[in-house]
């Protein structure tokens, strides 16, 4: 267990802190350097731009009305508790899982900070696309949550396959893991 041997804690919490600092710092910069809002600043032509906006909803503009801020804050706290519990149950040598959970937690906390500090919503500024075909604007926290979730999905898929192979091998007349 991660909490028992302490090894991942030496990497988990610094990774959470590093991503969180990067998120807060870039949002601080964006709010000062990218004014006025909704005005694109080309970084790599029109493909990568920085455009300041505030998202009162969640990913991809999901908005639940005037209660969105409070609903998403509550959901974030619940998700953070679940992520920390998953981390505590993680083996010390399972670095991909540790990294995935740290990325998700840092991103969730980063966006939670925005929701707590302002009714305007989460600071978003990374704007990618071509012409009018644009991905929803995002931030460093969103990158952490998205990449962490993809990595965690891969980790859990890998664990599921390993468990299924072990069960098949242990069953009477079971096949070897290489056969599947």
DSSP 3-42: HHH-TTHHHHHHHHHHHHHHHHHHHHHHHHHSPSTT--EE
pLDDT band at 114 (very low <50, low <70, confident <90, very high): very high
- Has residue 168 been placed in a domain? no
**Torsions phi, psi for 81 (to 5 deg):** -65, -45
| % of the chain residues with pLDDT over 70 | 87
- Has residue 176 been placed in a domain? no
Question: What would the mean pLDDT of 128-151 be, rounded to a whole number?
Answer: 96
Number of domains the chain contains: 1
Look up the domain containing 51 and give its range: 2-161
124 annotated active-site:
yes
Cβ within 8 Å of residue 70, ≥6 positions away = none
What's the half-sphere exposure (Cβ side, CA atoms, 13 Å) at 41?
12
Residue 172 has pLDDT above 90, yes or no: no
46 annotated active-site:
no
Among 23, 173, 177, smallest CA distance to 112 is for: 23
- Has residue 172 been placed in a domain? no
- Has residue 114 been placed in a domain? yes
Q: How far is CA 57 from CA 22, 65, 88, in A?
A: 22, 8, 30
Question: What would the mean pLDDT of 136-159 be, rounded to a whole number?
Answer: 96
Rounded Cα distance, 79 and 34, in Å: 31
Which candidate in 23, 114, 124, 127 is catalytic? 124
- Has residue 173 been placed in a domain? no
What's the half-sphere exposure (Cβ side, CA atoms, 13 Å) at 7?
10
Cβ within 8 Å of residue 43, ≥6 positions away = 49, 50
Residue 60 has pLDDT above 70, yes or no: no
- Has residue 119 been placed in a domain? yes
The DSSP letter of residue 120 is T
Which candidate in 23, 114, 127, 142 is catalytic? 142
Residue 153 has pLDDT above 60, yes or no: yes
Question: What would the mean pLDDT of 26-50 be, rounded to a whole number?
Answer: 97
- Has residue 171 been placed in a domain? no
């Amino acid at each position: 267990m991660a909490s028992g041997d302490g090894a991942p804690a030496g990497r988990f919490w610094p990774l959470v802190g590093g991503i969180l600092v990067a998120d807060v710092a870039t949002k601080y910069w964006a709010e000062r350097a990218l004014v006025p809002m909704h005005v694109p600043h080309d970084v790599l032509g029109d493909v990568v731009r920085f455009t300041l906006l505030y998202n009162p909803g969640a990913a991809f503009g999901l908005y639940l009305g005037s209660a969105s801020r409070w609903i998403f804050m509550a959901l974030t706290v619940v998700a953070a508790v679940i992520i920390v519990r998953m981390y505590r149950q993680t083996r010390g040598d399972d670095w991909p899982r540790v990294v995935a959970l740290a990325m998700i937690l840092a991103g969730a906390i980063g966006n939670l900070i925005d929701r707590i500090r302002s009714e305007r919503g989460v600071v978003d500024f990374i704007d990618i696309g071509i012409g009018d075909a644009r991905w929803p604007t995002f931030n460093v926290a969103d990158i952490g949550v998205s990449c962490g979730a993809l990595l965690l999905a891969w980790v859990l898929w890998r664990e599921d396959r390993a468990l299924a192979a072990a069960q098949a091998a242990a069953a009477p007349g079971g096949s070897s893991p290489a056969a599947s």
